[in-house]
Amino acid sequence: MPALKFIVEAALLAADEPLSVERLQSLFEESQPPSRDAVHRAVIRLQEDYAGRGVELVEVASGFRIQVRQELAPWVSRLWEERSMRYSRASLETLALIAYRQPITRGEIEEVRGVSVSSAIIKTLQDRGWIKVLGHREVPGRPALYGTTRAFLDYFNLKTLGELPPLAELRDLDAIGKQLDLLDSQVDEPTVASAEMPVDASEDTSADTSNDATPDLPSTPETTT
Amino acid sequence: MPALKFIVEAALLAADEPLSVERLQSLFEESQPPSRDAVHRAVIRLQEDYAGRGVELVEVASGFRIQVRQELAPWVSRLWEERSMRYSRASLETLALIAYRQPITRGEIEEVRGVSVSSAIIKTLQDRGWIKVLGHREVPGRPALYGTTRAFLDYFNLKTLGELPPLAELRDLDAIGKQLDLLDSQVDEPTVASAEMPVDASEDTSADTSNDATPDLPSTPETTT
Amino acid sequence: MPLVSELSLDSAETEILARVRGEPFLQLPQDLYIPPDALEVFLETFEGPLDLLLYLIKRQNIDILNIPVADITRQYVEYLDLMQNMRLELAAEYLVMAATLAEIKSRLLLPRPTLDDGGEEIDPRAELVRRLQEYERYKQAAEDLNALPRLERDLFAGSAPLLEREVVRKPPPVSLAELLQAIREVMQRAELYTQHQVSREPLSVRERMSRILETANSEGFIPFTDLFEIDEGRLGIIVSFLAVLELIRESLLELVQSEPFALIYIRLRT
């Protein structure tokens, strides 16, 4: 027969509720249950075994229970974590500008975006570990220069930033989109069904033209990874 | 910070399903998760800790799980009164056909079993999360193609379908011919045509897509329950 | 009740066929009265005509590859008769199988054998043998599956509750497509995108600029040659060189050389 201690351990871990000494005794053949004392001693030896581990054996009103140590809650709770709100457009644009124009100061980001960039956005991106301060520009105010981190590359599954399509290429796609728009306006019929974009052979940038009633917005190529 | 090993231990016991290495990594700050190797090492150290105890740490299809050792089932199962976990032969044969022959249609199951398969059986297996519809066979009626799930493997303590007990070998049909030749004087030159390939349940589970499913038996209510 | 005795089992048969009111039912009675509920249970122990045929074959120790069709057919039909006399409703599959057996029996008696496409002779039993074997292997597979240790019967998942969960929010997922969309939109709005020249420099240069700046920030002076690593190859060296030039152009770095032909250093522009 296996050691009493291990039967108690297995039962406590298999049960969904605390087990009393009587309940633990009932796991054995009716003719030869272990004594209350023996069960108690097994419980105490288990408590000693668990000292310093991820779980602990405690006694509560209705019996004994093995439970996760509360100190581990910060990690274990993440099993049930919820998603936060999606990033705002401002956050994404800030991140994209830092990736493409690094090293870059907040002032320079604001200049390109045409609107101010809140400290909260910078902080969110820093907390996520995607951007960091690389140094400071030696001008009045010594503004911080931001760049992306290795964690940023890892998240997007990139080995180097060089794997992102260069700006010029993104612009070329837009330019083609504009030309198509121009063609559209020359033709009376406003809808061009399934206008196929020439796809740059060098990159796996597949283009998707949706030329419905939004003439001022160029079509949006989707880059697949 | 507590040792990685204890965080893994606590998480495996707190979760009500097996946890993959990725899921365990996700318990840490996104920017600094432990490496896959580190998680693996922690798992192995835990496995060593549990050696000879009442529980063991095993790997199943969807990840790692801490479970009661099978030797202790006689005691631990007394925690529950008469928990009937028996499945009918009809259910088990249907499940076996889906496990070994997936993707497979209900008609193909019926063809092998020689009787119709009740909807209740399919539904029970689906409700348990053991089988799922993988797609449809593109023949008239578009019958659903069934396959087993990770939950099925988890439940039967398996990592992959390859760990299922091997199917009995079909005896070669030429061998049948020879035996008939020897034993059956009525037939002069008995060679058996229409040799159908036995399908193994090994790695390539998507191998069998023969849709010559023309059961010569009409569909009738299930005779057994 | 016809021919019940024909259906009797071998005396050596010890398999429990059914249970009647909890009592094991080891054999079909030789004759006399068979309790109707017993037969019903008996029928239920078969998963269909193939299962019943397998049973009839196995109990006589016949090789499945060499079925004496006449014998087996007779036993099978007797069994069905028995069931019908008991007014038990038989599934249609059982009757279809009876017809199949009868057909095989008659074809075996034909003087001219059936030929397949290639002119080869077909044993009339071949298809039945195939189906029986096929069914048998999955019947076995089901038994093997049932014998595997499984949760809730042989294995029990260990669990320990976490009493007070903390609320954790996971940062939202961002796709690369979203990021590229963002840079395109912002660049469309920015004048430099449409009117000024957009540099065609690969992004690896901007990335290298960041790394060099970081190094300069922590180390002060860096020997110019330290910026280049031979094992990066020619392309890596060009990237580093372009990065240094761009950093100097943006007034972030400066080159320092104490005298002609001395070592060149770079440092942060102050």
Residue A216: is its pLDDT beyond 50?
no
d(CA B164, CA B158): 8
Mutate: best of A49, A53, A77, A149, partner B, most B CBs <10 A: A53
- The residue-averaged pLDDT of B20-42 equals 91
Q: Do C188 and A218 touch (CB under 8 A)?
A: yes
Residue C18 DSSP one-character state: E
First to last CA, chain A: 58
pLDDT, mean of residues A106-135? 91
Decide: C162 and B10 in contact? Cβ < 8 Å. yes
Q: Determine the pLDDT at residue B84.
A: 61
Listed residue (C8, C40, C48) closest to C21, CA to CA? C40
Please give the residue of chain B at the shortest CA–CA distance from A52: B6
Q: What is the pLDDT at residue C205?
A: 86
Question: H or E element: which one contains C152?
Answer: none
Provide the percentage of residues in chain B whose pLDDT is more than 90. Answer: 64
State mean pLDDT over A158-187.
Answer: 68
**Mode of pairing for the β-strands spanning B144-148 and B104-105:** antiparallel
Q: Does the beta-carbon distance from B191 to C143 stay under 8 Å?
A: no
pLDDT for B25 equals 94
pLDDT score of A158: 87
- A171 Cβ under 8 Å from any chain C Cβ: yes
Q: Which tens digit of pLDDT belongs to each residue from B125-159?
A: 999 999 999 999 999 999 999 999 999 999 999 99
Q: Is A16 on the interface with C (CB under 8 A)?
A: yes
A10 contacts B76? CB cut-off 8 A:
yes
Residue C201 CB neighbours (<10 A): 16
Facing residues of B204 across strands?
Answer: none
Do the Cβ atoms of B30 and C171 come closer than 8 Å? yes
Q: How confident is the model at residue A182 (pLDDT cuts 50, 70, 90)?
A: low
Q: What share of chain A is helix, strand, coil (3-state, %, to 5)?
A: 45, 15, 40
Better-scored residue on pLDDT, B201 or C245: C245
Judged against a pLDDT cut of 80, whether residue B37 lies above it is answered with yes
**DSSP label at C12?**
T
Block residue for tokens 């996700």? B26
pLDDT of the residue at C188: 78
Query: What local confidence, expressed as pLDDT, does residue B225 receive?
Result: 37
What is d(CA C162, CA B9) in angstroms, rounded to the nearest whole number?
12
- Among A114-123, B26-35, C25-34, the range with the most confident prediction by mean pLDDT is A114-123
Residues A162, A168, A172, A178: is their CA dihedral positive or negative? positive
Inspect the interface and report whether the beta carbons of B31 and A55 lie closer than 8 Å: no
The pLDDT of residue A215 is above 50: no
The enclosing H or E element of B152 equals helix B150-155
pLDDT tier at A84 (50, 70, 90 boundaries)? Answer: confident
How high is the pLDDT of residue C81? 83
Q: Are A213 and A173 in contact (CB under 8 A)?
A: no
Q: Give tens-digit pLDDT for A23-77.
A: 999 999 877 889 999 999 999 999 999 998 999 999 999 999 999 999 999 999 9
What is the DSSP secondary-structure string of C183-246? HHHHHHHSHHHHTSPPP---HHHHHHHHHHHHHHHHHS-EEGGGG--GGGHHHHHHHHHHHHHH
Quick: pLDDT tens for B144-200.
Answer: 999 999 999 999 999 999 999 999 887 755 555 555 544 444 434 333 333 333 334
Residues 23-42 of A with CB under 8 A from C: none
Pairs from B28-35 (Cβ < 8 Å, separation ≥ 24): B28/A75, B28/A78, B29/A129, B30/A128, B30/A129, B30/A151, B30/A155, B30/C170, B30/C171, B31/A128, B31/A129, B31/A149, B31/A151, B32/A129, B32/A151, B34/B4
Digit-coded pLDDT (tens) for B55-99: 999 999 999 999 999 999 999 999 987 666 688 899 999 999 999
Minimum mean pLDDT range among A139-143, A172-176, B88-92: A172-176
Q: Report DSSP state, residue B102.
A: -
Question: Cα distance from C217 to chain A (closest Cα, Å)?
Answer: 6
User: How does residue B206 score in pLDDT terms, banded at 50, 70 and 90?
Assistant: very low
Residue C96 confidence (pLDDT): 92
Number of B–C residue contacts, CB under 8 Å: 201
Do C64 and C109 touch, CB atoms closer than 8 A? no
- Tokens linked to A69: 């140590």
CA atoms within 13 A on the CB side of C31: 4
**A36 Cβ contact partners less than 8 Å away, ≥ 6 residues apart:** A21, A25
The pLDDT averaged over each successive group of 10 residues in chain C (270 residues) is 36 44 49 52 77 87 85 87 74 89 88 72 85 94 94 90 84 87 82 53 82 84 83 83 88 85 83
What's C129's DSSP letter? H
3-state secondary structure of B36: helix
Lowest model confidence (mean pLDDT) among A165-169, B215-219, C110-114: B215-219
Taking phi first (over 0 means left), then psi (-120 to 50 degrees means alpha), and beta for anything else, what does residue A157 get?
Answer: left
- What residues contact residue C254 under an 8 Å CB cut-off, 6+ apart? C248, C266, C267, C268, C269
Contact B6 A53 (CB under 8 A): yes
pLDDT at C35: 54
Q: What per-residue confidence (pLDDT) applies to C233? A: 81
